[in-house]
Structure 1
């Protein structure tokens, strides 16, 4: 009864169904990998909230040549709570424009913290509103503490897009936090990641708004896993349903796709 499955047409249908199901399974596997990656990030964020800070050099390293950035921190080191001691270089402060916090557009302020070995790490001190004149008007940046500063924060990887670093009214500006691009404007080697400030001694200016730490939406990827695997199963079930329907139409008393009515064996449908 199912001998028709060996015809070229039905073998073609089967090949299409299997290929489609395979693609959907692979898409589900990819989303599963993204779910695991994002879940791991969330676990590191949660762990950082309760762990004691570790020295910055224990999880990252600066470049060896002035004007360059070190390697990007490893995924496993990202979101680690780190501590560093140095002096802020406000002369080479970087304004990161068009940043939204609490539904307001303003600037994040990156200030190099020069360490005892002569290298520096970019510290995101927080968000401030723009100056008078619009969203890209340069703000009045609160001064850095004088002398030695102890910084505690979360180690972050560079943002994906490097962007262009320019000088406007004597201030460095950019759209993305990319140490490799910023390093070319600085007179010392820097780390390949940056530190999102959480605490500082002496304390920072209250004008800064802390940058919120957002968890990854891993459950969205989990939902896509179920969706793609369900589509793969539906594709195979749909092929089986069509094959069963075809087989039933070929039984005595059924009607096949050619329009031949099998009850009489030789009478065409509609005659």
Structure 2
């Protein structure tokens, strides 16, 4: 009944179906790995929020290179760790990061280097401020002054952003669109830690003009949905092949015209057979030696 599956046509269909299902399963596995990675990040964000801060040098490698360089990359698991550090803000090297969105509004993030006693510095994201009133989204705002004297900062370690943008100096301010620490470090007269801090708490207190930078969780459920989607597609491909094979076996996929032609040929064959039998019977009734009338 299913012997037709061994024909070249159906073997080709089966090979194509299995190849498509395999690709879909592999895509689902890749999305599953992305889901697990993002879920782990979200779990770390939630867990570190409950932990007491630790000194920054226990989490990030101390920069020991020359001025204008960044330290060694952070170790695995350093992101989102709460750390504390004490130093003095360098107000002469404030960094404005433009085109940053908070609560659907475009403005600036303000990074200020915090100089430590050993001569190095860590970049502190003090928060977000809107552009100057009445100006465009990229109009430079008035930046609240950083506290003078010793400042203690508690913040979350944020890894350097990829794809660095151009770094410009205008009117004593450093401007960029991406917080790429190695690129920013080249504009500073001291070595810098390789990650920056999102400000949580500050002593003395931070200026209320700043809005805190929200820590966004990864959209892991999107990847979870893709996992189900790809695996379901793979299953449907296999089920579709089985359904088509069953219909073929039952004759449901055959061409109706071919059915009619075949039925007509069968009836014609039956009519010829009947005529042949009638002719033979007629010849049997003739007397011996007599010839049929022409």
TM-score w.r.t. length of structure 1: 0.91
- Counterpart residue number, 1:99: 100
Match of 2:164 among 156, 162, 165: 162
Mapping for residues 72-111 of structure 1, pairs under 5 Å: 72-111=73-112
**How far 1:264 sits from its partner (Å)?**
6.0
**Is the 1:62–1:69 contact (alpha carbons within 8 Å) kept by the matching residues of 2?**
no
Match of 2:182 among 180, 183, 186: 180
Worse overlay, 256-265 or 140-149: 256-265
**How far 1:4 sits from its partner (Å)?**
1.4
Count of matched residue positions in the alignment of Structure 1 and Structure 2: 264
**How far 1:248 sits from its partner (Å)?**
1.1
Structure with greater proportional helix content: 2
Distance 1:210-1:3 versus aligned 2 partners, 3 A rule: same
| Cα RMSD, aligned residues only | 2.0
Q: Distance in 2 between matches of 1:127 and 1:183?
A: 21
Q: Distance in 2 between matches of 1:60 and 1:259?
A: 77
Q: Secondary structure at the match of 1:155?
A: strand
Q: Distance in 1 between matches of 2:264 and 2:78?
A: 75
Bigger Rg, which one: 2
Q: Distance in 1 between matches of 2:256 and 2:16?
A: 23
Q: Structure 2: which 5+ residue stretches go unaligned?
A: 268-294
Match of 2:149 among 128, 137, 147: 147
- Counterpart residue number, 2:8: 8
**Is the 1:164–1:174 contact (alpha carbons within 8 Å) kept by the matching residues of 2?**
yes
Q: Secondary structure at the match of 1:192?
A: coil
Structure with greater proportional strand content: 1
Q: Secondary structure at the match of 1:5?
A: helix
- Counterpart residue number, 1:203: 205
